[in-house]
Structure 1
């Protein structure tokens, strides 16, 4: 292959001179991690609430939760991102919409991507939570009610502690996906990891080095997440249930 490999390009100063191309990649890595973790907090909180609502006996609440899940799961992520970034500011009250549009462009991009990724992943987390609750024997819920617990107390003290232990493995998969899905934020201009790689290619014409480095950084993120989640799974697993020994 007639290609001039140049790994030292990462130590070359960028045109502005304030850092190196490797520094660019690490800056993109920081934005990717910040975006993914903040979106995961939204996904876990909203997904847990929606997942619980999917299993409550109130038909209106369970129907609302089902509509939320179907809407966010069946609309492409990229379409949702464009809707949050381009459409939502126009639907806000004029004062709030103008304040948002006049704010720092980087902040606009980050907030739009965070909300999009968080609420999109929340729909997937909700299904994991629902499956975890429904996998438990009905006797657990009935026993809690028979002891005088309210339905909310049954969920809080009986069902959810067990359900979350069961769904740690699928939640790990969703946690990894949110890091990979964060790359779509490059389409609205957020300078995350993949966007920094594209900039590096534009300035240096060294595509193989740039994307090999980015691939390795994503692999490092995934290996770290998998290691931490495996340790968590070992600590919370329940014998006789999914993931238990």
Structure 2
């Protein structure tokens, strides 16, 4: 018999909130403040290449290689602007520092309209909430600035955990914080592999959030699929004392 539902774990980026404007636009704004003229399209292309390269060489912010989130992102920003013909080392360092701090601010993040109401509804059901996110250690400050942090009993980031989703170890760390069996926990996220499959591999009940109806996964039962977080509380209430 499954344990009664007690916890809801949450992904954050593109589940509860998203970047307010594109990376290219925000990087161009910083470049403009430094007297440079770049286009969002060229910066976006350079960023994607720099991000892929850095992620390949140093997965999960390079924690295993002795890096941290800030040094990892500093390298990405510098490589992005370097590809856009910015060569001054001091200028690259200044922009990297400014952008790292800028993305720590709530002003650069947009909370989805259904996020707060869903979190509040889950809490009103007597459920405890936690975060499991592939994010650096700025996440708590971002959640606080967005008015979301108080909803959570704990936050597990991949930088702090030393491992990222879809590795089961990050969910095992969350399970320790919950102090409850996996069968009493659900996880909500927008990524099929990192959130849905990974949580289920840890014995947690996964729900896949698909705001744009992009997923056509026949192996995701309709009762595990969400088009909006507005649908979640009623579904959880239905299963509070039932087996999934």
TM-score normalised by structure 1 residue count: 0.29
Tell me which protein shows more strand as a share of its residues. 2
Tell me which protein shows more helix as a share of its residues. 1
Question: Highest CA radius of gyration, 1 or 2?
Answer: 1
TM-score normalised by structure 2 residue count: 0.29
